[in-house]
Amino acid sequence: MKAIIGGTGFDRLEGLSLKKQFVETPYGGVELFLGQGEDEGLVFLPRHGASHGVPPHRINYRAHALALKQIGVVEAIAIYAVGSIDNTLEPGEVGIVRDFVDFTGRSQEHTLFDRPVTHIEVNKPFDEELKKRILALKPTLADAGVYVTTNGPRLETKAEIAFFKRVGFSIVGMTLASEVTVLLEVGIRTLALAYSINWAAGVVEEFSFLPDSQLEVLKTEVTQLCRSCLLS
């Protein structure tokens, strides 16, 4: 089984044949969507829920990862809406996340390894084979740089973004570090795609998000790209 994990803007995937399924885990229940017909073998997980009702600091990452593992998922492409700190990935562009930094301060809540002492290696957090496959389909995909994860739900201050830029972070969001950590812990090979929906605070004078019409075009393109990569 292969999974697409979607966030803001990707709570529903149009064009795929999906059937809802509820999976129980020791950390709670998870609503998933299983591919049907030509989409058999795909699983869609909306990390904020199908109605986008769960804020980033309330996402049950442990339950999500275990649910995917329980139904046999071995690899996943996770899609993240981000803000652009520099021009590595500009608003409206899609790219492959190179690495991440966790500034949530809540890593102890987003691990399955409370006992015994267990350390996972994250020198290469993202799967190289998945990266090769998706670049074969779309060689023009950008390098999205380093994703810094904040706690949310508030957006970042100008001072925070200025600091992040000085230390070399390119994009900012609220979910990747926590999610990828538990996916690694359960052994699911993962690739992270970022699509920028705004310039981060203070980068430009006027703050604004991408218009819905542009987001819909991005959503369609990224959905089909992920489907083709995972089912190839």
Q: How far, in Å, CA of 181 to CA of 194, rounded?
A: 17
Which pTM does this prediction carry? 0.95
Which of the four pLDDT bands, split at 50, 70 and 90, describes residue 212?
Answer: very high
> What kind of architecture, by CATH, is found in domain 2-231?
3-Layer(aba) Sandwich (3.40)
What is the pLDDT at residue 27? 95
Which of the four pLDDT bands, split at 50, 70 and 90, describes residue 11?
Answer: confident
Q: Give the H/E segment covering residue 179.
A: helix 176-185
Q: How far, in Å, CA of 77 to CA of 195, rounded?
A: 13
Which of the four pLDDT bands, split at 50, 70 and 90, describes residue 179?
Answer: very high
CA atoms within 13 A on the CB side of 124: 6
